[in-house]
Structure 1
Amino acid sequence: MILIADSGSSKTDWRVIHRDGQISQYRGVGFNPYYMTAEEMSIQMRHDFLVNLQEEIEVIFYYGAGCAAPERKQEVAEALRSIFSRAEIHVDHDLAAAAHATCGHSPGIACILGTGSNSCDYDGERITATRPAAGYILGDEGGGCYIGRKFLQDFIHEEMPSKIREAAIERFHLTQHIIQDHVYRQPYPSRYMASFCRFISENKSDPYCYGLFYNSFKDFFAKHVCKYTHYREKPVSFVGSIAYYNSDILRKAALDTGIQVNLIIESPIAGLTLYHQQKL
């Protein structure tokens, strides 16, 4: 049996390919080895869905945020090995997941626009180039955290339309002190900031909210996609909830930048399942 995982900072999609070809699935919390230890990840992985399969899983393909460096991959592998001691374990970056799921064996540029953001140039078999992923404080242009951070900054400085500000207060009971407590004192500040994107998306008929997405996507293109060689000639695909639920704005920003959009999918897990099924 094969276990496939696609993990971001907010959630993890798990798929099991059974010996008879049947597929089962589970969604759990996200993991990022830059912010969690192997022990912390191991504890949170011990859900019934996974523990009940620990003797049956033979191979694991885990794709995750923060898994570019060898030492981070090793930490995730240790967490998985604490449950699946007999399995052959492969850990790769979430960019590889985006490329395999959207491009398959064809060249293209694959992008992630979820809680965070990232991108790569893919030749159909391997990733040939990437751009720096500076994280939720210094980067993540176009990602939910980046958009949410701008929204909260504008809230604090009263630089948003009054009707949007009042709606946010009514829905979230926001104050400057609550925002600062969540961002500077509570765990997972990137998730907190990204959580406001649903509200922003629900109000994207308002020019201010529309502009938050549009300008953030333009920032992402400038920092990432436009830095790749011959980017105008390559199909550009996206995975992640921010891209998927705001695809209309994303396509407009891409059109205005001269970028050819190929696929926009919420999660790469279905494409990854197909990719690994084909290799059986």
Structure 2
Amino acid sequence: MILIVDSGSTKSDWIAVDNNGNKLLEKIRTKGLNPAILPEKKLKKIIKGSEDLKNNREIVSHVFFYGAGCGTEKPVQTLREVLQSIFINAQIEVNEDTMAAVYACINNPQEAAVVCILGTGSNCSYYDGENLHQKVISLGYTLMDDASGNYYGKQLIRDYYFNKMPENVRVAFGSKYNMDADYIKYNLYKQPNPNAYLANFAEFMFLHKDSEYTIELIKKGIRLFAENMILQFKDHLKTVPVHFAGSIAFFAQNEIKEVAEEMGFTTGNFIRRPIDRLIPFHTKDL
């Protein structure tokens, strides 16, 4: 059994297939496994909380894991050890989530492209057809992650409290979410995964795209992301497309295309969930 995992900070999608790419189990979903945020004990608890994973752990031969928080060696090593302790007979491969986005978005294995992730967090890399290049190491949701779910959640909460929302939008937002200050602070400062908590608010934008306020909020985040991340690779933007992966990108396609026209880059593919497109990539040589 081969396990392919696409993990953000909010959730992890697991697919179990045989060597020919045939699915063996229904798609498994667990909480996010971000080793830069969660301790080893919590990572193990989340994985073992799935009956399917626990019951089949000894017959797993390979685990191909792509995840948020896997961009530096220390968290990668932590997660590799956690996975090896559970899937004791498996070969373990841990990569940052950007590589899952690359393999899912490009049209052929040698295609060069700028590949962006806009999900709970955000990231941007240049893939030259063989190697991945990044000019900025992400410092996470408190300092970076422009145009991500947690970025938009933060902006929405701020606008609500600073009375910068149109009144009809503010009423709708306050009706949908618990906006009690103590409740918000409890989730931000006392609970794990505050970035995922913030990202939960982003759905509101896509349910209220009839508001000019919401459209401009989306575009503002995308412009920041483009200026700080995509334009790092301006020398390549005239010759390669910019692909996008993640739910925020998928639902903000129109706004991304408008910003792309403003800033002079060409959008390519928009993939909401990269994991399904990873199956042929990992089974073709087994």
- What interval of TM-score do these two structures reach, taking the shorter chain for normalisation? over 0.9
What residue ranges of structure 2 are gaps of 5+ in the alignment?
none
In structure 2, the residue matched to 1:245 is: 251
1:121-176 residue CA offsets vs partner (Å, 9 max, x unmatched): 00112203343312111010010111111111111111111111111112224233
How many residues end up aligned between the 2 structures? 280
| Matching residue's letter, 1:26 | I
- The answer as to whether partners of 1:169 and 1:175 remain within 8 angstroms in 2 is no
| TM-score of the two chains, using structure 1 as the length reference | 0.95
| TM-score of the two chains, using structure 2 as the length reference | 0.93
- The answer as to whether partners of 1:156 and 1:176 remain within 8 angstroms in 2 is no
Q: Of residues 52, 56, 59 in structure 2, which corresponds to 1:53? A: 56
Query: Does 2:217 align with 1:212?
Result: yes
- The answer as to whether partners of 1:12 and 1:29 remain within 8 angstroms in 2 is yes
87-96 vs 224-233, which deviates more?
Answer: 224-233
* Inter-partner Cα distance in structure 2 for 1:185 and 1:29: 18
In structure 2, the residue matched to 1:62 is: 65
Report 1:8-27 matches (<5 A). 8-19=8-19, 21-23=21-23, 24=25, 25-27=27-29
- The answer as to whether partners of 1:238 and 1:264 remain within 8 angstroms in 2 is yes
Q: Of residues 233, 240, 244 in structure 2, which corresponds to 1:234? A: 240
Q: CA deviation at 1:69?
A: 1.4
What residue ranges of structure 1 are gaps of 5+ in the alignment?
none
Q: Of residues 27, 30, 41 in structure 2, which corresponds to 1:28? A: 30
In structure 2, the residue matched to 1:264 is: 270
* Inter-partner Cα distance in structure 1 for 2:186 and 2:44: 28
In structure 1, the residue matched to 2:161 is: 156
Q: Of residues 95, 98, 104 in structure 1, which corresponds to 2:98? A: 95
| Matching residue's letter, 2:7 | S
* Inter-partner Cα distance in structure 1 for 2:148 and 2:21: 35
In structure 2, the residue matched to 1:145 is: 150
- The answer as to whether partners of 1:116 and 1:140 remain within 8 angstroms in 2 is yes
Q: Percent identity?
A: 32
| Matching residue's letter, 1:93 | E
1:210-258 residue CA offsets vs partner (Å, 9 max, x unmatched): 1111110111000101011322321111111101122121222222211
1:23-54 residue CA offsets vs partner (Å, 9 max, x unmatched): 13212211111111222101110111111221
Q: CA deviation at 1:19?
A: 4.0
Query: Does 2:280 align with 1:278?
Result: no
1:96-134 residue CA offsets vs partner (Å, 9 max, x unmatched): 111111125111011110011001100112203343312
Q: Of residues 84, 88, 100 in structure 1, which corresponds to 2:87? A: 84
In structure 1, the residue matched to 2:261 is: 255
Q: CA deviation at 1:178?
A: 3.0
- The answer as to whether partners of 1:142 and 1:219 remain within 8 angstroms in 2 is yes
In structure 2, the residue matched to 1:7 is: 7
Q: CA deviation at 1:177?
A: 3.5
* Inter-partner Cα distance in structure 1 for 2:16 and 2:248: 26
- The answer as to whether partners of 2:245 and 2:272 remain within 8 angstroms in 1 is yes
Other structure's SS at 1:233 match: coil
Other structure's SS at 1:196 match: helix
Please, what is the CA RMSD of the aligned residues? Answer: 1.5
Other structure's SS at 2:86 match: coil
In structure 2, the residue matched to 1:135 is: 140
User: Alpha carbons of 1:21 and 1:93: their partners in 2 closer, same or farther (altered >3 Å)?
Assistant: closer
- The answer as to whether partners of 1:3 and 1:16 remain within 8 angstroms in 2 is yes
